[in-house]
Structure 1
Amino acid sequence: MSHQPLAGAVALVTGASSGIGAATARRLAREGASVALVARRRDRLDQVAVDIAKLGGHAAVLATDITEPAHAEEAVEDTLNRFGRLDILVNNAGIMLLDSALHTTIEKWDRMVSLNVSALLHITHAAVPHLIYAASTSPRQVADLVNVSSTAGRVARPGSSVYNLTKFGLNGFTESLRQELIAENVRVSAVEPGSVDTELVHRLSHDTRAAALRQIDEMHPLRPDDVADAIGYIITRDRWVAVNHMVVRPSDETW
């Protein structure tokens, strides 16, 4: 059997029902981690859990809405009850609803802030004490918190003002948290994917979706597995190596 650098570690992945989250959960399981799968769609989570079992790994399905603070706390507690510890948190859950300020609705803006920001804060706040404990007790001597941001956290474009707001803010939050947790041996990182072929694009309004798909058709978009590989690379570094910020774009993306 090949060496598994995350053997004995426990990871919690949000937005694990599809796309980058599902790919990341499978990647971490291949590296030896037990994985708590958090999202709202139980049927999709069940399938990811089956995939992980076929790899010889272990997964727990936690179908819940972490935009509710109590549910986020319960997700962390359920992970601890199932696996006994928490070494890795991957904050991947998010939504992208693009449109101009003139044509969008306040409900769409609120949905993005609720999932992209509030839910991430809820789960992070609940997880941090346990990540600190894991770093002090783990053979790895380190814990990891990875936030999935976006190139929209560095490049603002028309029609994505509030999505930009959530991702620019996430990058600032990540850097501040990184500095806070250095002394606790908890590494904090942000991954910024460019265009990825995921369900996010297909949830846009008709006209916006058509424009986004035309952009994707003009390039070779990333696969979710490409981003999962970046996340896996960050987490599996030796404890004295911190990859705190990684931008992963399609090679032919110009922005």
Structure 2
Amino acid sequence: MADLTDQVIIITGASSGIGEATAQLLAEEGARVVLAARREERLNELRDEIEADGGTALVVPTDVTDREAVGHLVDTAHDTYGQVDVLVNNAGIMPLSMMAKTHEEEWEQMVDVNIKGVLHGIGAVLPIMKEQGHGHVVNISSVAGRRVFPGGAVYCGTKFFVTALSEGMRNELSKQHNIRVTSIEPGAVATELTHTITDEDILESFEGMEMEPLASIDIAESILYAISAPNRVNVEEVLVMPREQAM
């Protein structure tokens, strides 16, 4: 495994769930983590926890739907540490709903966060990674980027985009620019992701489900595996499912 000591790793959606667990784990491995999300108070608490454990963390409050804000995030990381080694594009929302209910505002929010937010991060880091001659972009997709289910048409569409984008990026960037690209595809994870769901039928369908979901640390460890692989290795996709999840 490659040593992550002093690598600079930007993590979006770092205020909870997968982002928070990833920041803690990578900081334990010696990385300098840059914490991005809208909830500054949560980020500050996470930074304090990391620093209390001997790690290094920088807080940059960021709305990934704002391209200028994401540019500021990346510039701040680069200005502070002189490099950007890894971007973990983790921020995402999942307000599932049946298409017939036409929750168009929620559809647009998913496009803004899950698609445009990912592109904003990529657009900001690529010039730096090309200039320094190396880098790694980790895009958090989903099993929903492989399989479509009722209530998930738009959400799945955004994650299919992320999966396809990741493959295209790897084909264009890995050989020519030494920029590795990984798509991480979790199944059900116990996070705040379901808190954005307003469709009562979807929420009712979740009731009574007997399945132990993944923990955020399970996905964090998958990210660690991908970014700590030797430079000759590009871990292109990692699908991580709960043992009991069929879809």
What does 1:11-160 correspond to in 2, within 5 Å? 11-134=9-132, 136=133, 142-160=134-152
> For the residues of structure 1 that align with 2:203 and 2:48, how far apart are their CA atoms?
31
Which residue identity is paired with 1:145?
V
Deviating more after overlay: 235-244 vs 187-196: 235-244
Match of 1:212 in 2: 206
* 1:57-101 Cα distance to aligned partner (Å, 9 max, x none): 111111121211111111111111222210000000000010111
Match of 2:183 in 1: 190
Tell me if the contact between 1:4 and 1:30 (Cα under 8 Å) persists in the aligned partners.
no
Tell me if the contact between 2:8 and 2:81 (Cα under 8 Å) persists in the aligned partners.
yes
Secondary structure (helix, strand or coil) at the match of 1:98 reads coil
Match of 1:226 in 2: 218
Tell me if the contact between 1:174 and 1:190 (Cα under 8 Å) persists in the aligned partners.
yes
* 1:5-58 Cα distance to aligned partner (Å, 9 max, x none): 111210000000000011111111111110111100001111111121122111
Match of 1:244 in 2: 236
Which residue identity is paired with 1:214?
G
Instruction: Could you list the structure 1 runs, at least 4 aligned residues long, displaced by more than 3 angstroms after superposition.
Output: none
Match of 2:169 in 1: 177
Secondary structure (helix, strand or coil) at the match of 1:63 reads coil
TM-score using structure 1 length: 0.92
* 1:94-133 Cα distance to aligned partner (Å, 9 max, x none): 0001011121421100000000000110111010121233
TM-score using structure 2 length: 0.95
Percent identical pairs in the alignment equals 40
Secondary structure (helix, strand or coil) at the match of 1:46 reads helix
> For the residues of structure 1 that align with 2:208 and 2:151, how far apart are their CA atoms?
16
> For the residues of structure 2 that align with 1:207 and 1:106, how far apart are their CA atoms?
17
Structure 2: tracts of 5 or more residues without a match: none
Deviating more after overlay: 64-73 vs 3-12: 3-12
Q: Which has the higher contact order (CA 8 A, sep 6+)?
A: 2
> For the residues of structure 2 that align with 1:73 and 1:166, how far apart are their CA atoms?
22
1:184 is displaced (CA, Å) by: 1.1
Secondary structure (helix, strand or coil) at the match of 1:214 reads coil
> For the residues of structure 1 that align with 2:2 and 2:20, how far apart are their CA atoms?
19
* Matched residue count: 245
